[in-house]
Structure 1
Amino acid sequence: MDALNSDVQAIQAISSVPTILRVVAETTGLRFVCIARVTGNAWVTCAALDRLGLGLRPGDELDVATTLCDSVRAGDQPIVIDHASVDPVYCTHPTPRQYGFESYIAVPVRRANGDFFGTLCGLDPEPAALSDRRIVDTLTLLAELVSRQLEDEQRIGASEAALLSERANSELREQFIAVLGHDLRTPLLSILTGAELLRRLPLEPHALSIVERIKRSGRRMASLVDDVVDFTRGRMGGGIPLDAVETTELGQQLLHVVAELKDVHGGRVIDSEIDLNTTVYCDPKRIAQMLSNLLVNALTHGAPDHPVTVRARSDDGALFLSVSNAGAPIADETLQQLFQPFWRGSNSGPSEGLGLGLYIASEIARSHGGSLIVTSTGEATTFSFTAPRIAR
């Protein structure tokens, strides 16, 4: 019944339906005209022009087995009766007597895919010359017009439903980001602050090592939260947001990232060639985040006995950044998956993150209007970021 009600509402939503019914009435002289939804077990009024006072309103039903519309559905052909009581086919048919009509016409209304929807039909207690080809053709054209407008109305309805769904998803996404960004970060900040205060106390070596472990775990958890927030914004929102500024300090921020990761990965060699003495228009925090993600990937998967190389330079406002590591070349099928979210290499350990680092790096590149590509040979694997001069 819900589906039938939806069909009635769809016809009611077509603004031209009253005009179509009036044209049918004036063309045929029939005093009752309607559009009916017809199925194998239901006949439902969708819209009616009733000058006979039959009282059928939108949503009212008739027993479909007592209607000729059921025969239109079964045969998928119009039925036209000029004078039922003398018609050789319908003079003994029970339907004209039950509903008290002499003249009757019904033509199929189809959906856009050709499926039968119902009928555009009319009747009158008086005989009428309906079998004229021009009348049948006119009603057929009007039925096709109803079909097309029904399709348009359903398409608009689907678009509005999709828009409402997207709006609901957007609100849910923002709530999700808010939970991650505030409700999880706040207790993490308390944990990290408490651990730092404990570290300043005179502790035994064993207790101090526990405090340091708490700090490392807290920082790792905060990093995972940041990654999921960035993933949510990049994948389901409008991309990773930027706070782009003109800066001459990008080089120092990148060097800080290199120094920090050298401390974390003690014993690993990172060779850096950073030449960024000119002004660059970018989001320096995001570029530093990109470098951090690429460096972590290189240190994790590269040959541990070979250095990782970082190069960065600018040229007339354009920015170039690359990270290279030695090691076994990456297979072609793997290269195609590297920037997919949650993808992790077969040699990744259980504590090596969610597999979002390279995806987020690629999204940062895209938000800057640039590109991040990877090449892998027997000599080295290199991730290269290039961003043009960004218009302000």
Structure 2
Amino acid sequence: MPSENDPFLQDVRQVGHISDISMVLDACSAATGMGFVAVARVTADRWITCASLDRIGFGLRPGDELAVGSTICREVRGSRSMITIPDADASDAYRDHPALRQYGFKSYISVPIIRGDGTVWGTLCALDPDPHDITAQSEQLFTLFTRMIARELDRQDELDEGRKELAAGLATLETERDTARLREEFIAIVGHDLRNPIAAVTAGLRMIQKRDLAPERRAVVVLEMQRALTRASQIITNLMDFARGRLGAGIEVNAPGPVDLAPVFRDVIGEIEQVAHQPVETRIDLPRALVADPQRLGQLLSNLLGNAVTHGPPSDPISVDIAERDGELHVSVTNRGMPLTEDVKASLFLPFSRRESTDKSLQGLGLGLYIASEIARAHEGRIDVTSTQEAGTTFALRMPARPNRGSAI
């Protein structure tokens, strides 16, 4: 089957949606006696099976391809005319045709499927390893079926276009509603979440200015101020990335060459350790430099660690495991917080998805995991989450580990 990104996947699906396509193939086989019948999408450079009936073990199913140059259907497409071969051995024109030699069939019929706009979309064809008479009635039947298939494909396109127009109208209305809702939520959340760290720093400065403040208490106040500033910095960074994404720029990745990521990750972990209530247990095994954006991957780890600090119990350590395994970079962060419900998992990586924390001052915009997932996607990777009572909650990044630019994974 063509990949999801293959433009011809839609053609295979459209033919599959024709309700009577199986009856068409059966009728073609019965009319000619041939054991293989197919509806094929044929272009200048591709031949793709969209529907098939195979009673001779030819081996082609919907989505399978042949080299178009090895087919007679290419000639049908070029001439826009039917080609019939009752017995290849008796045909001066086709006795030595490469397709007959390659695939070993003796009888063949192919009729072009011509769409309403006059373009040749593909063919309805049949073949068999034995000779078979092809009557005028069989030719008329094939021609009738190709017209039916073409009309059905045109109808499906018209329906799809109508759905798109309707969806576009509804989407415009929904977008306007979403924008208004998002604006209100955005302002409310930013006002709340940035006010907390600013208030913490302001209160800390007032306390430090007191001359009678004990040195040990001063150290505690400074640490709390560092936590607040780190939190504010994360909020602002995530906001800028989210706003850039909403404007269509997406997450920018700058990876001109291999870089040693281990020091980058250690610096991020060290920064979080200074402000986290929990100890952080770290294992890093990166034997070589990799092509990646160090700033973005550092931001990704910072967001995952920030999430673990927010939702992990203060008494239980956070585990960080970073390694290159089987051609992939693996980065996992585990906390021992309460297991996540399936509903929570489903929305974790959506923007403005916020979970309750035991420490209300640590609750954020709900952008950290969303930004982390976008960074992973920009590196052709993904973040998965597992959560159980026994093992805790783990966010795990997997992405290609490329030792040099353009290398295959």
How does the TM-score come out when normalised to structure 1? 0.45
